[in-house]
Structure 1
């Protein structure tokens, strides 16, 4: 097993910009992202930083703006590869899959923002490309949503995504659990749809 830590869209837009993360609080997720990157570096786990970039003049993530820039928690730390993306999945239109395979990576650990968009999209995509996937539950974050389909709080969205991802696409774990696994050079687990299903709810 060879892991890579994929840190998605830890950018100012999600902290001080137009899309402030609501749950878990950014102070919590940023501290855990920092701990994950530091542990990966100490244990020689490759770190891939993903940055979402929109065209100049876009209302969010416009290239060259403060909102689009990497947050200092990531910008101040080393990484092995930088990926620029413009779609939710970090694999679409990028060299991520090629870089990971060239590095011999078979297990992706995902951290960053947002739980319900780029984290989930990348986890699903990675799973379908044949990677083993881990998602750090407290090193991610969500926003509340309200539209014609209904309304959900950030906490409800965050937990719902984790439950769905755990059932099908990725093993969810806290950063502390992941750090222990990294230091012990051991796997965390795998999603298990059969075990997750409640026959009484079918």
Structure 2
């Protein structure tokens, strides 16, 4: 995992869009409630089970995001994933193969932090934080999704209603206490 500021220059969202050599430390992401572990893919089952038990993740599934895998749905899915949104549950992703980018909205600066993920990265994005996802130029990622309850993925696109969402308010309260 490497994190750096997104440059906001228009163009292909799958490009790095920033200077990956000017990395943001994990501690800065943790202040935003974002957690990361590196767990090698080979032999990952035990360590993933331990993290799942510790954090109360009861369910999991696998998803492959690629042009080939999504077929005609690819363009629509990529637009949906890249639209700024939040969830009312944590978003937990463990990368098994491929790579991509999670963009995290930094509060209070409103800057985007681009988080490049690759095999072995386990990323936890807290409920209530604005974020988005895109593939990189390789156009392929396979991830294990972990869930605290039944598997679901419900994006709440950023807007007036979402800004007033109780999960968003709780997130803002939580990061203000950790600052």
Higher relative contact order (CA 8 A, sep 6+): 2
Q: Give the TM-score normalised by the residue count of structure 1.
A: 0.28
The structure with the greater share of residues assigned to strand is 2
Q: Give the TM-score normalised by the residue count of structure 2.
A: 0.30
The structure with the greater share of residues assigned to helix is 1
